Amino acid sequence: MKKIKLVDLISPYLEIKEELFKEWEKIFQKMWLFLGENVQKFERDFAEYCGVKYCVGLSSGTEALHLALRALGIGKGDEVILPSFTFIATFEAVWMVGAEPVFADIEEDTLCISPSDVEKKITSKTKAVIPVHLFGNVCDMEPIYELKKIHGFYIVEDSAQAHGAEYRGKKVGSLGDVSAFSFYYTKNLGALGEAGGITTDSDEIYENLKLLRNHGQISSYASINPGFNARLDEIQAAILNLKLKKLDRWNTRRREIAEIYRRLLSGLPCQFQKTKEDVKHVYHYFVIRVPERDKLVEFLRKNGVDVGIHYPIPCHLQKAAENYGFKEGDLPVTEKVSKEILSLPCHPHLKDEDVEYICSLIKKFYS
């Protein structure tokens, strides 16, 4: 029986192993472990890759979301609109700054935040909207831009699952006032542990973020405002520098795998995530919506295929959010999708025959 992992962590590491050890040796010779030349190189190169002026390397994607909001001055008394169908960190970032989370529903086809529902949720207190580019798909940004013109809120991209994805020829990371990235080790561009970053074109936000990530220090032991310990370390930056060179090739392979899934699963009771016109998806996962989801998960795992459910409990129904007064029925599309969603392996080292095997099992299940 085949054994197919949802995420392959070994193969991308082996691609860079020899070169990586040489880079690590240089780091350990100098023992400059934070905010050194590797971090600076990654910040320059990733900013250029995204098509913006600045990138600020951070310790995690959660801190990226948190500090993105904080750098914009968002806090108590402000409202932030975000989808509930996302990893809990998106909600946590709003909680961290003391703002009020306002959950919007998603589009049933793209699984990304619904601009029409965002419009319904805007009030005089709305300070930011967080479009989450989920599973590598890009949100429909144009209607959000139109709402921003009218209401004047900030756009904070959550790009944690969409490194290299594009909207109308522009990469995510350049579509908002700030963009938060996770470089968690399972991501399309992942470290070997935790890492994150923020991209922006704003000089003011950039300078603020550099202070916020490092205790508000302008020099050793001289802090001009309270900050945080959220620095990207040199060891992880060296990994990201090597993997960034391979990201486009790896994303191309993910798109090839997605096309195989679409072809082989056509005609089955599987609904695919759709993309808007002029969007280039990068398939962090290949997700489908299916009847009898939990039984299919059990069947696939029994036959050697590791699959995931992203996400079985929407943020607004998590116990962590119970103090905000949300209840079942508030977001009908989100709640429906969370009961049907299934993530299939789509990593760039997956073989065609593995995808064919997964599809044959799904066909067998529904036959």
Distance CA 248, CA 236 (A): 20
Place of tokens 């750098």: 71
Distance CA 267, CA 287 (A): 16
For the whole model, what pTM was predicted?
Answer: 0.97
**Residue 19 CB neighbours (<10 A):** 13
Across 142-153, average pLDDT: 98
Can 10-244 and 247-366 be said to share one CATH topology?
A: no
Q: Of 14, 276, 300, whose CA–CA distance to 133 is shortest?
A: 276
pLDDT at 1 over 90: no
Distance CA 229, CA 256 (A): 40
Give me 138's structure tokens. 């890009």
Q: Of 300, 282, 302, whose CA–CA distance to 292 is shortest?
A: 300
Confidence of residue 289 (pLDDT cuts 50, 70, 90): very high
Sequence spans of domains, the chain: 10-244, 247-366
Q: Report whether 171 contacts 146 (CB < 8 A).
A: no
Across 313-336, average pLDDT: 98
pLDDT for 52? 98
Q: Of 100, 68, 10, whose CA–CA distance to 205 is shortest?
A: 68
247-366 maps to CATH 3.40.50.970:
no
pLDDT at 22 over 90: yes
The pLDDT tens digits of the residues spanning 34-44 come to 999 999 999 99
Indicate the average pLDDT of the chain.
Answer: 98
In eight-state DSSP terms, residue 50 is: H
Strand order in the sheet with 279-280: 170-171, 166-167, 279-280
In the chain, % of residues over pLDDT 70: 100
10-244 maps to CATH 3.50.50.60:
no
Sign of CA dihedral 367, 287, 142, 130: positive
Confidence of residue 97 (pLDDT cuts 50, 70, 90): very high
In the chain, % of residues over pLDDT 90: 99
The pLDDT tens digits of the residues spanning 64-94 come to 999 999 999 999 999 999 999 999 999 999 9
